Amino acid sequence: METNTPKRRDNKKSLRVKVISLGNAEVGKSCIIKRYCEKRFVPKYLATIGIDYGVTKVQVRDREIKVNIFDMAGHPFFYEVRNEFYKDSQGVLLVYDVGLRESFDALDSWLGEMKQEMGSQANMDSIVFIVCANKVSLVTRSRRVVDEGEGRLWAESRGFHYFETSAQSGEGINEMFQSFFSSITDMCENGGKRPVTEVSAGFTKEQADTIRRIRNSKDSWDMLGVKPGATREEVNKAYRKLAVLLHPDKCVAPGSEDAFKAVVNARTSLLKNIK
């Protein structure tokens, strides 16, 4: 029977783990891995064909970890090749390009594809996920469209780690991998369960979902969650509910302060026009 528990070698202190990379084509998955393993960056895009495989050894505390890295191709064309490789992973690098919103929006469908192959949510719970907001270097800052708050909120509301990385400059890469391998080791030492303490977000899913909804709302009515033409009472009631949920004194979710301000402004502008 296949299990998620890593295989032990003779030496009690050594572990063998499997990690995979996921995310749209061209977001930089292969370059992140190359930057870490080979300390170099290749500017030319060489699409991964199906899957690339590599092994690296790392030391975490008193343990030697042998990491099998399966670098997946992001192109939809390779689904049939990829889907074989999801099972038995202990870690997932979920990568998006901060300059391409569709690569961020696609993270949910990457999780969906993985869940479908894993068979159940329970299997997904014993995996360490790291979200890499990639291509954050100074050079590319002007084309950034997904800010840190939004990325961090998406990751941390799911209990995932969040890192800003640049495979080009190397920024964040070592820190990200160190945290990744150390969390996987913690999980293995914790009987294959992802420890919750480390990334306990300190905010609720409702708060995270509300902030996301507010960010994506099309107008002030939509932001407050009332129908166009709602009465003053309805607007105030909706406002009070959101204010309690998102007040900066009570909500530590990334982006809560901006969301709270946006809600205050939406209420003010709506009330101005309601008799």
Q: Burial, 56: exposed, middle or buried (Cβ in 10 Å; 0-12, 13-18, 19+)?
A: middle
Q: What are phi and psi of 70, to 5 degrees?
A: -110, 110
Residue 19 forms beta bridges with which residues? 69, 91
Contacts with Mg ion by CB under 5 A lie at: 29-30, 48
- Least distance from ligand GTP to the Cβ atom of residue 213, Å: 29
Q: Name the minimum Å distance from CB 101 to ligand GTP.
A: 16
Report the interface residues with ligand GTP, using CB under 6 A: 23, 25-31, 42-48, 73-75, 134-135, 137, 140, 166-168
Provide long-range contacts, Cβ within 8 A and 24+ apart, for 121-125.
123/4, 125/193, 125/194
140 binds, among ligand GTP, Mg ion, none (CB under 5 to 8 A by kind): ligand GTP
What separation, in Å, do the N-terminal and C-terminal C-alpha atoms of the chain show?
68
Burial of 94 (0-12, 13-18, 19+ CB in 10 A): buried
Q: Which one, 140 or 179, has the nearer CB to ligand GTP?
A: 140
Q: How far is the CB of 30 from Mg ion (least distance, A)?
A: 3
What single-letter DSSP state applies at residue 59?
A: E
- Name which of 166 and 207 has its Cβ closer to ligand GTP: 166
Residue with Cβ nearer Mg ion (48 or 207): 48
194 binds, among ligand GTP, Mg ion, none (CB under 5 to 8 A by kind): none
Smallest distance from the beta carbon of 14 to ligand GTP, in angstroms?
Answer: 29
CB of 41 to ligand GTP, least distance (A): 7
Angle in degrees, 0-180, between the axes of helices 148-156 and 205-215, rounded to the nearest 10: 150
Q: Which does 28 bind (CB under 5 to 8 A by kind): ligand GTP, Mg ion, none?
A: ligand GTP
